[in-house]
Amino acid sequence: MKHVLIIIESQLLREYISLKLEENGIDVATANNSMDAMNKMKSMAPDLIILDYLEDRKMFMEILKQKKKDRNTTNAPVVIFSQEMEQKQLLELVPYNVKKVFTKPVKIDALFATLSDLLDITFKLDDSPGIMEIHVNEGIIFVEIAQGLNTDKMDLLRFKISELIALYRIRVPKVIVMLSDTKLGPPDTMKLHKLMFTVLDAAKTSKSYIRVLTNDEFIHRFIDTEEDYKGITVASSLLHAINGLLAAIDRETHEGRDKAERIGDIMSRGKITEDEGDMVFKFDSDDKKLSSELFKDSLENMRIAVIDDDFVIQEMIKHIFQVTNAFVYAFSDGEEFLNVVDDHDFDLAFLDINMPKVNGFEVLKALETKNIKYPIIVLSVISQREAMIKAVQMGIKSWLVKPLKPEDVFRKSIEILKSNF
């Protein structure tokens, strides 16, 4: 039997990788800190080590040095998860038998292809099509699925839901499973069971707070007739799906915002825009206090653009990311930004919709024409519902409503960026 040691701080990520390895007959040990890791290496003699690039670089290197010094582990290959590394840093890893450095976020298929080669085994992965995306808006978790059900992505779904609940500190989770573009039949029964069980198990909430959005007769009949899913509402329109959930949120939070406005706001966000491809790890909140210091390593050296004619917004975002050592570039209008966009590559952009000279929509159109793609968070005011719908139609699925709160800026950035996965 092969033995793998996983040294990752994130409990959720450790559990996910452990699950996939154990399903394929591999003995797994995990560690969440350097001391635990070095003790496990001595006692286990692993055939492979999966190591997260720790915030404490000294301890990270100490693990590798001990691994090289011990004759039982010196030849064990190492796979590392990290943010982007400079060439000098990569060269430092060569003496420690580091076989692969994955830049976060790590793609599932690429990771397990590497593990398969290093462990000389064939992993049982589901290669069936399926696009899955999870995001949070107005306290509701949207699980968007298209082109089919992929069991490996459903395994990851469990962890991503848990992470988002922790990240946004959702006390009573409410979930909409959007299957509006998915057609299923009897051969998909077991996968559909797995999907519903995964959502219920991860959310740990009342079935009355779960909605399934679909026009497919098979899915509708399946949910309605299965005793295990009694209490889950099947809806044929997003308006129907969110109406009851918003009412519940109103009762819980006593918010006074007009429900019709909130319905329109959320409806503008309900659309899959992700290109077909591998599901990726993106989040790691681990239920810790949200702060810029917590995500310093994750955001370090990132290049962030702020395109907004409001000087206060520019300075606010600069201040928010200052402690992370990210580079923040401010532009007072779309024209100023577009003049440099060909020569600068950004990891994230905050884009105001209403600006003089060249507005936000014109910027989006220009980026589309240039085939420039990086995460964009649109900034706007709540009354501009039509503007937000237009933004979504242009491929933007993340935005913030002014006035901005620092914690909201961080949460949304972490949701769509690399973070610690």
Average pLDDT, stretch 137-166? 85
- Asked if 262 and 135 sit in the same domain, the reply is yes
260 inside domain: yes
Q: Which is more confidently placed, 247 or 153?
A: 153
Q: Which residues contact 113 (CB under 8 A, 6 or more apart)?
A: none
Residues 6+ apart with CB under 8 A from 248: 172, 174, 209
Kindly state whether residue 284 falls inside one of the protein's structural domains: no
pLDDT digits (tens, 9 = 90+) for 244-271: 776 666 666 554 445 545 555 554 444 4
| Cβ within 8 Å of residue 373, ≥6 positions away | 367
Range of the domain at 366: 296-416
Residue 273's pLDDT band (cuts 50, 70, 90)? very low
- What local confidence, expressed as pLDDT, does residue 336 receive? 94
CATH number at residue 204: 3.30.750.24
Confidence of residue 175 (pLDDT cuts 50, 70, 90): very high
| Res 88: pLDDT | 85
Q: Is the pLDDT of residue 34 over 90?
A: no
Q: Token pair of 135, please? A: 């995001």
Mean pLDDT value across residues 150-170: 86
**68 contacts: CB under 8 Å, gap ≥ 6:** 74, 95, 96, 97
Helix (H) or strand (E) holding 243: helix 238-253
Residues with Cβ within 8 Å of residue 160, at least 6 apart in sequence: 134, 282, 283
**Residue ending a domain, choose from 267, 283, 310:** 267
- Residue 111 above 80 pLDDT? yes
For residues 329, 333, 334, 340, the Cα torsion angle rounded to the nearest 10 degrees is -40
CATH number at residue 341: 3.40.50.2300
Task: Show which of 119, 153, 173 is a domain's final residue.
Answer: 119
Residue 286 domain-assigned (yes or no): no
Identify whether the C-beta of residue 138 lies closer than 8 Å to the C-beta of residue 265: yes
- Give domain status of residue 285, yes or no: no
Backbone angles phi, psi at 226, to 5 degrees: -80, 125
| pLDDT confidence band for 397 (50 / 70 / 90) | low
Confidence of residue 347 (pLDDT cuts 50, 70, 90): confident
CA dihedral of 307, 311, 316, 318, whole degrees rounded to 10 = 60
Q: Considering the domain boundaries, does residue 125 fall inside one?
A: no
- Give the DSSP letter of residue 280: B
Confidence of residue 276 (pLDDT cuts 50, 70, 90): very low
Q: Give the pLDDT band (50/70/90) at residue 124.
A: confident
Average pLDDT score over residue span 304-320 = 91
Residue 203 placed within a domain:
yes
Residue 291: inside a domain? no
The confidence score (pLDDT) of residue 396 equals 64
Q: Percentage of the chain surpassing pLDDT 90? A: 36
Check whether 136 has a pLDDT greater than 90.
no
Same structural domain for residues 31 and 81? yes
Q: Is the pLDDT of residue 277 over 70?
A: no
Q: Which pLDDT score is estimated for 253? A: 55
Both 259 and 151 in one domain: the answer is yes
Same domain flag for 151 and 37: no
Task: Please indicate, yes or no, whether residues 358 and 248 belong to a single structural domain of this protein.
Answer: no
Q: What is the mean pLDDT of residues 194-206?
A: 95
> What is the number of domains present in the chain?
3
Mean pLDDT (whole number) for 52-75 = 87
Closest among 349, 313, 352, 314 to 334, alpha carbons compared = 352
Global pTM value: 0.67
Residue 137 sits in the same domain as residue 263 = yes
> Tens of pLDDT along 292-301?
454 555 567 7
Stretch (H or E) spanning 379: strand 376-380
Tens-place pLDDT, residues 71-108:
999 999 999 988 777 788 888 999 999 999 988 777 77
d(CA 368, CA 123): 38
Same domain, 191 and 237: yes
Interval 15-36 mean pLDDT? 88
* Mean pLDDT, residues 358-377: 88
Confidence (pLDDT) at 394:
62
One domain, residues 92 and 155? no
User: Do residues 139 and 114 share a domain?
Assistant: no
Residues 115 and 136 placed together within one structural domain of the fold:
no
> At CA 242, angle to CA 236 and CA 248, rounded to 5?
140
279 is a domain residue: no
pLDDT surpasses 90 at 66: yes
Judgement on whether residues 324 and 410 belong to the same structural domain of the protein: yes
> Do 303 and 411 share a domain, yes or no?
yes
End of a domain among 247, 267, 287? Answer: 267
